[in-house]
Structure 1
Amino acid sequence: MVANSLSKHADDDPNDLTTVLDEAWCHLQRGVADSRSPAHYPTFATVAADGTPEARTVALRGASRSLSTLEVHTDIATAKVAALKHSSKAAFLVWLPRANLQIRVIAIVDIQTGSAVDEQWDRIPAASRVSYGTEPTPGTVISDVYAYEKPSKRERFAVLMCNMLSIDLVQLGERHRRASFRRENDWMGEWLAP
């Protein structure tokens, strides 16, 4: 089981940075494949044009270690997209309670639309496509709780391709451990004081 393997390996060699990073990637990839995994619904944080921090839960749709990317789908009319157009940096936060592991990721986000995202759109079930096209647009004041429609609008579908810059891992235990990995260092890790 992934949740327990990090602890087992930590007992074998608590200084093995490679194992720590490997386990974090296992959790992220499991989050894509398993909607019951806590990593499936990370917190995604951006900063609005006025400097206001904004955090929301998103669904993790892709995690590629070889490309150092995480993938999220969204409606192009959301506040998160407006914030990313102002500042392309974003953060992910994943808390894995069974592993006592926190994963934080900083990324530069590329907003992809149109024909560039045909493959992702084709994989979305018809019933889920209503997430892209809410009218009025998400965040608009409405007259009552159900004064909106959810048509499926292909032109509103966007993929947020998050190019990872860093991964910060904190594992809670009898002795906490914290490690940092940076793309600029070819993901070579270093231990940090927790």
Structure 2
Amino acid sequence: MTSWFETLDGTWEKVWNTLGRGVADAKHPARRPTLATVSPDGWPEARTVVLRSADREAGEVSLHTDLYSDKIKSLRGTPRAALHIWDAKQDLQIRLQAEVTIRSGPETKPLWDKIPDHARQSYGVTPAPGTPITDALAYDKAPDPATFAVLHCTVTHIDAVHLGAQHRRCSFSRARQWRGQWLSP
């Protein structure tokens, strides 16, 4: 029997199944990928985010954020990002490159309406995220749908590395109609 990591098709399936599990299972390692962006002054930035959707057919994933967060400023300047996931149980590293569209306002209301009250606390911090404050708790949280944003990520490239006994690495590119290519690990 062939293991998933021995074929390009198997790896493609594993990548998207892993992303899907991250959306569905709050305890799965793909639930909280690292998002990397470039700041307005050119510095790399990385932070943990929550994966909210993964659509294999469209080649898209999405994340939620506060419209006034630093990542929004960065994405307005450079609307590209990378996502990194490490699944230790599978010995699998997934890196996605994506073009990002920021969505907010009325088009995000159906998603806002589905967010539980306790999670809405992340959207509507005063002062805005990243603002200097006088002490650690000198801020207020008041859920505000006007500050809710969805980062719609159109995946352009996937790099997958299996770090088993024999390392295997491959890539998939939208420009190649998602045909896989083996790479030296």
- Aligned CA RMSD, in angstroms, stands at 1.2
- Which segments of structure 1 move beyond 6 Å, counting only runs of 4 or more? none
Are 2:157 and 1:166 equivalent residues in the alignment?
yes
Counterpart in 1 of 2:55?
64
- Structure with more of its chain in strand, by fraction: 2
Aligned counterparts, 1:49-88, within 5 A: 49-88=40-79
Aligned partners of 1:79, 1:157: CA distance in 2, in Å?
A: 14
Counterpart in 2 of 1:137?
128
Q: Deviation of residue 99 (structure 1)?
A: 0.3
Segments of structure 2 that go 5 or more residues without pairing to the other structure are: none
Counterpart in 1 of 2:90?
99
Q: Deviation of residue 67 (structure 1)?
A: 1.2
Could you give the per-residue CA deviations for residues 102-160 of structure 1, whole angstroms, max 9, x where no partner exists?
00000000000111111211110012111001001111111111100010111000000
Q: Deviation of residue 47 (structure 1)?
A: 0.1
Counterpart in 2 of 1:46?
37
Question: Which of 80, 83, 87 is matched with 1:89 structurally?
Answer: 80
Question: Which of 101, 111, 117 is matched with 2:102 structurally?
Answer: 111
Q: Deviation of residue 173 (structure 1)?
A: 1.4
Question: TM-score, with normalisation over the residues of structure 1?
Answer: 0.93
What code does the residue aligned with 1:31 have? G
Counterpart in 2 of 1:26?
17
Aligned partners of 2:92, 2:155: CA distance in 1, in Å?
A: 19
* 3-state SS of 2:3 partner: helix
* 3-state SS of 1:98 partner: helix
Question: TM-score, with normalisation over the residues of structure 2?
Answer: 0.97
Aligned partners of 1:107, 1:185: CA distance in 2, in Å?
A: 15
* 3-state SS of 1:162 partner: strand
Identity of aligned residues (%): 44
Aligned counterparts, 1:171-182, within 5 A: 171-182=162-173
Question: Which of 167, 170, 177 is matched with 1:186 structurally?
Answer: 177
